[in-house]
Amino acid sequence: MRDLLSTKSTYSMTSREFFDVLWEKVYLNEDFKILENEKNFKTHVLETSKEFIVYADIPGVDKQDLTITYENNFLVIAIKRAETNAKSDTTLFNERYYGETRRMFYVPDIKIETIRYTLEKGELALSLQKNLKKSD
């Protein structure tokens, strides 16, 4: 890995060299892995007149490794992925994330008792019914 403060000035680098250094320093540096947002799973949140629907892509997660909570108008989806490789295996390349992560969504005024979910083929689907108050 090259050092940005090497003897060659960034002004005398070709654009290819500059972006190679930038790639190495930001993307490949372990200190900056948070920029990749690799732990967070992808979601899609919809709102209809009667409910909120949340879809989350969580491949490889079983129901027992999934926690769904709702408190103070926040929906929290937490997952835990366990590493599956045997200790004797040698990893050559790994882009998978193992461990715990969560996503939090502000979802106001829902009927907690109506929260329903399904987990099929790595997709979580949550239905959150709105608490529809009738006006006088």
pLDDT at 98 over 70: yes
* Contacts (Cβ under 8 Å, ≥6 apart) of 121: none
pLDDT at 81 over 60: yes
3-state secondary structure the chain: CCCCCCCCCCCCCCHHHHHHHHHHHHHCCHHHHHHHCCCCCCEEEEECCCEEEEEEECCCCCHHHEEEEEECCEEEEEEEECCCCCCCCCCCCCCCCCEEEEEEEECCCECHHHCEEEEECCEEEEEEEECCCCCC
Residue ranges of the domains in the chain?
7-36, 38-129
The CATH code of domain 38-129 reads: 2.60.40.790
pLDDT in tens, 5-54: 444 444 566 767 666 666 665 555 544 444 444 567 899 999 999 999 99
pLDDT at 109 over 90: no
pTM (2 d.p.): 0.64
